[in-house]
Amino acid sequence: MKREMMQFILDNELSPFSTSKSYLKPSKDSIFKTRDAKAIHQKVLTKISSNFKFPETSNIWHYFQFTDQIQEILRRQYFFKQLTKGDNTFLRNLSKPRQTWSPKYEIIIVTEDESTFVHLKNLSCPVQLLVSERDVQDLENYDIVQVINCDDYKRTLEQLPQTVFIDSVDNVYLERYLELLSGWKDNFNIIKQSNPSEEVQTILRELEPLFNLIDSKMGKIISIEEVEKVLEDINEKISNKVKELTISGDSLLKMLSEGKMPPTFQKIIEDSIEETGLSQHIFNIKIPVEIDQKELDDQIKRQSANEFTNLAENIKRHAESLKTIPIKLKKLSTLLLIEDFCLGVANFIQENTTFPAHAEHLTFSNASNMFLDNAQPVSFKLDNFHKCSILTGANSGGKTTLIEHILQNISLFQLGLPIRGEIQLPTFSEVYYFAKNKGSASKGAFETLLTQMSKIRPGNQTLILADEIESVTEPGVAGKIIASTAEFFIKKNCFMVLATHLGHEIKKTLPKNARIDGIEAKGLDSNYNLIVDHNPVLGRLAHSTPELIVERMANSSSEEYFKHLHENLKKNGDQPQQPRTNY
C-alpha cells in the first residue's frame, strides 16, 4: 500500500516543501451524498491531519477512495495496524532546497554538431558551437573544457590541458546534479539525525558519498600576491648571507667583466628559493631576485587546469551515480510525505485502538466521540428489527452529537482507522445527512428538504440521518410527515436516525420497525446546570426539559414571574415516560 501511496503522490506532484495545500478534486464516488455529511467527513480528516507537519500531507487522504469492498477496508486496517509511533516534529525543521554549491571553475562545453548544441542549450548547459580555429584559441581562458561530438578540432583540443572528452550527452555538465544535491545538505543532516524509516535511510546511504564531491577540498594554487611576499623574504635572506661573505678582488673583477655570478652567490640564491618550496623557474636568478612574470602566469594556469581537471575527472567517474540524484531526491521527497502521514496517523491510533468490525447491523458499544474532551461513552443500535430510531431528547442533550458520531465512525471505518470503543458497521453505499436548519421555517426550505429526500435512491445499504426536520414546517403536521417519511424509507430497506422534539406526536403513528429512543435530562446540579445522560435509552421517549430550565431560572433569580411558572409546572406537570421493554 505504501508503494501505491507513493505513486499517488508522484502523480499529483505533491511536495513536502509546498507552502500551502494543493487543491485535489474530490472523489465522485463518495458515499456521503449531502453537503452536511461531507462536512462531517472533512471534519474527521482535519482532526487527524492536525498531527501532520507538511501542508500537502493531508492530500494523501484522497488516495483512500470510498469503497464497498470489505476486503479493501481490511487491507487498510492491516496497513495502519503495522504503524509504529514516532516523532515527526523534525519535519518542521526541513526547508525548501536551495542551491549552495557551484563549480569554482569556469567551465564550457564545446561541440561541432548543431543538433547537440541545441539540445545542450535546452538543458541550460554552458555550451559553445565551434566553427573556427579562433573559437578553439579562445578556450584557453576556461578552466574546464568539456568536448563532445568534435572531429575537426579534436587534435587541437587535445593540446589543451583542461580538456575533458565526453562520450555522451547524458554525461555533459554533471555538475548540475551536484548543484541540485547541494540544496539538500542541511535537510540531509536533519533527516539523518532523526531516526527515519529504513526506506529513507537507504536513500541517505546512497546519497552520502556524493556529498563528498561537493565538500572536496581543492589543492592549494599559488597566487601572484603570495609569490611577491615570498620574494621579499628571499631577497632579505640573500642580502644577509652575502654580507657575511668575504669577496676577493679577483672574483669581483671576474663577475663584473664576464657578467657571471660566482658559484657561491648562485648557491645562496638557489638555497634561499628552495627553502620556500616554490619552483626556481618562476624567478630570475640574479641579485636582487626577480619574478619571471610569464613563467609564473603559465604555472598558475597549469596548476589550476590540473586541479580543476582532476575534480572534473572525479565527477566523471561518478557519472552513473550522479545521474540518479534527481530520481532519488524525488523519491526522498515522496517518502518524507509518507513519513509525515504514517507518524501522524500513528499518533492518532495511540488514542483509538479498536478497529470497527463489519456487520449487517449498526452497533455502538461504549463508543466515545473523538471531537469531545472527556466524552461520555455511548451505546446505540440499529438492526433488521429496528431499522429506524426516532431520537428524542432535551435541547443540548446530544441528539446532533450522536448523529454526527455515527457519521464520524463511518468515516473512520471507510479509511480503515480505529475508533474509541467497539463498533460494528455495514459497508454503507449511500449516507444522507440533513442537518438542523439554522434559518427560519419557510415554504421554500420545506419544499427544498422534501425535494432532496425525493431524490434519494436507496442502494444495497443506505443510511439516512436527519436532525429536527420539523423546523422547516408547521409543528401541527410535522409529526405526521416525520412518521410517514420513516415508514417510506423503512420499506425501502434503509437505516434511519431522525432527531426530533415531536416524540409524543410521532408515538401515535410510529411505523413498523421504528423505535423511539431518548436522550434525557435528569435534573439540575448544585449550580443549576442541566444534568444530561448523553447515552440514549433505547425504546424510551425522552422527558422534556422546559420545567428544568424554568426551575433553574427560578432558583437563580428573584423574579416573582419565574417562581410562579415553576410552582405551576410542578403542580400540573406530566410524569416522565417509563422505559419500554418490548424492543
- Looking at the domain covering 353-583, what would its CATH class be? alpha beta
pLDDT category of residue 528 using cuts at 50, 70 and 90: low
421 neighbors 365 (Cβ within 8 angstroms): yes
Q: Is the pLDDT of residue 181 over 50?
A: yes
Sketch the domain layout of the chain as residue ranges: 102-180, 224-306, 353-583
* 485 DSSP assignment: H
Same fold? 102-180, 353-583: yes
SS3 at position 316: helix
Specify which of 63-77, 369-383, 384-398, 530-544 reaches the highest per-range mean pLDDT: 63-77
Rg (CA), the chain: 42
| Alpha carbon distance 74, 78 (integer Å) | 6
Q: Does domain 102-180 have CATH number 2.40.30?
A: no
* Average pLDDT score, the chain: 83
Q: Is the pLDDT of residue 583 over 50?
A: no
Specify which of 302-306, 438-442, 476-480 reaches the highest per-range mean pLDDT: 476-480
Residue-level pLDDT at 569:
72
Residue-level pLDDT at 497:
96
- The whole-angstrom distance between residue 425's C-alpha and the CA centroid of its chain comes to 31
| Alpha carbon distance 428, 413 (integer Å) | 10
CB atoms within 10 A of CB 316: 16
| Alpha carbon distance 583, 581 (integer Å) | 6
pLDDT category of residue 221 using cuts at 50, 70 and 90: low
578 neighbors 567 (Cβ within 8 angstroms): no
Q: Which residue has the higher pLDDT, 32 or 298?
A: 32
Burial of 370 (0-12, 13-18, 19+ CB in 10 A): buried
| pLDDT tens by residue, 192-220 | 988 888 999 999 999 988 888 887 554 45
Strand order in the sheet with 144-147: 127-129, 107-111, 144-147, 163-165
Residue-level pLDDT at 137:
84
Q: What is the mean pLDDT of residues 435-457?
A: 76
- Which residues have CB under 8 Å from 22's CB, separation 6+? 12, 13, 14, 56, 59
Q: What is the mean pLDDT of residues 503-527?
A: 82
Q: Which residue has the higher pLDDT, 583 or 472?
A: 472
DSSP string for residues in 215-273 = HPPPPP---HHHHHHHHHHHHHHHHHHHHT----HHHHHHHHHH----HHHHHHHHHHH
Residue-level pLDDT at 304:
57
Indicate the pTM of the whole model: 0.76
Q: What is the mean pLDDT of residues 96-111?
A: 88
Q: Is the pLDDT of residue 520 over 50?
A: yes
Q: Which residue has the higher pLDDT, 221 or 98?
A: 98
Helices (H), 64-197: 70-81, 114-122, 133-137, 154-158, 175-182, 185-192
pLDDT category of residue 489 using cuts at 50, 70 and 90: very high
Q: Is the pLDDT of residue 254 over 70?
A: no
33 neighbors 432 (Cβ within 8 angstroms): yes
| pLDDT tens by residue, 359-376 | 999 999 999 999 988 888
Burial of 493 (0-12, 13-18, 19+ CB in 10 A): middle
Backbone angles phi, psi at 436, to 5 degrees: -60, 135
Q: Is the pLDDT of residue 582 over 60?
A: no
Q: Is the dihedral of CA 219, 223, 225, 228 positive or negative?
A: positive
For a pLDDT cut of 90, what percent of the chain falls above it? Answer: 41
Question: How far apart, in Å, are the Cα atoms of 571 and each of 564, 566, 568?
Answer: 11, 9, 5
367 neighbors 405 (Cβ within 8 angstroms): yes
Q: Which residue has the higher pLDDT, 465 or 396?
A: 465
283 neighbors 272 (Cβ within 8 angstroms): no
204 neighbors 121 (Cβ within 8 angstroms): no
Residue-level pLDDT at 301:
62
Backbone angles phi, psi at 414, to 5 degrees: -60, -40
Q: Is the pLDDT of residue 526 over 70?
A: no
SS3 at position 457: coil
439 neighbors 387 (Cβ within 8 angstroms): no
Q: Residue 288, preceding bond cis, omega within 30 degrees?
A: yes
Q: What is the mean pLDDT of residues 106-118?
A: 91
Cell output for 166: 565526453
pLDDT category of residue 342 using cuts at 50, 70 and 90: very high
Q: Is the pLDDT of residue 452 over 90?
A: no
The amino acid at residue 522 is K
Q: Is the pLDDT of residue 406 over 90?
A: yes
**Up-side HSE of residue 572: CA atoms within 13 Å toward CB?**
6
Cell output for 103: 563549480
